[in-house]
Amino acid sequence: MIGTNHMVEAGFMDRLPFTHRDAALDLLKFNRLKPLVEMRQTAPPMALRNRFLLTSEQWTETLDAVILTKLSYFTISLSYPNSYINKLLEIAAYALGKPGMSLAEMYAMTEKEYPYFARWLKSAHDVKLLKYRHAQNLQKKAAAQKTS
């Protein structure tokens, strides 16, 4: 069951038609994020397509929901490099159907219907902001030491 081991945004999965849910749960349970994104860019393996008879459009919808749900599993912390956080946000924009969308736009798009995901986006923003401030403080300290 979604959310039993993790706090996740279940709304993306909940909005899928019942015909998609078995495939979505299988994808969520047995795949990491990278293979899910690769499947979304190409196609699910033939074994999955034979097991779950969905159209290309239905696979896209299902994979987007699973990817967004899987993203919400990540607890973004200061130990994440900015490049990693940025890649997660890029994947989120892609799965939301708007590649290149800003974090603020994603937040506005999701805050009402997907509140946990919106909080996840906010935490990504907060971590990036803390990292930026920390880097600024280090630069100021380094500059102060040079002048002393």
How many Cα atoms within 13 Å fall on the side-chain side of residue 103? 16
In the predicted structure, residue 95 carries a pLDDT above the cut 50: yes
In the predicted structure, residue 1 carries a pLDDT above the cut 60: no
In the predicted structure, residue 3 carries a pLDDT above the cut 50: no
pLDDT score, position 101: 97
Percentage of the chain beyond pLDDT 70 is 95
In the predicted structure, residue 77 carries a pLDDT above the cut 60: yes
Q: How confident is the model at residue 6 (pLDDT cuts 50, 70, 90)?
A: low
pLDDT score, position 97: 97
Reported as a single tens digit per residue, the pLDDT across 98-140 is 999 999 999 999 999 999 999 999 999 999 999 999 989 888 8
pTM over 0.75: yes
Domain boundaries, the chain: 10-146
The long-range contacts involving 118-124, CB below 8 angstroms and separated by at least 24 positions, are: 120/9, 120/71, 120/72, 120/74, 120/76, 121/89, 121/92, 123/75, 123/76, 124/76, 124/85, 124/88, 124/89
* Nearest by Cα to 10 from 122, 21, 125: 21
In the predicted structure, residue 33 carries a pLDDT above the cut 80: yes
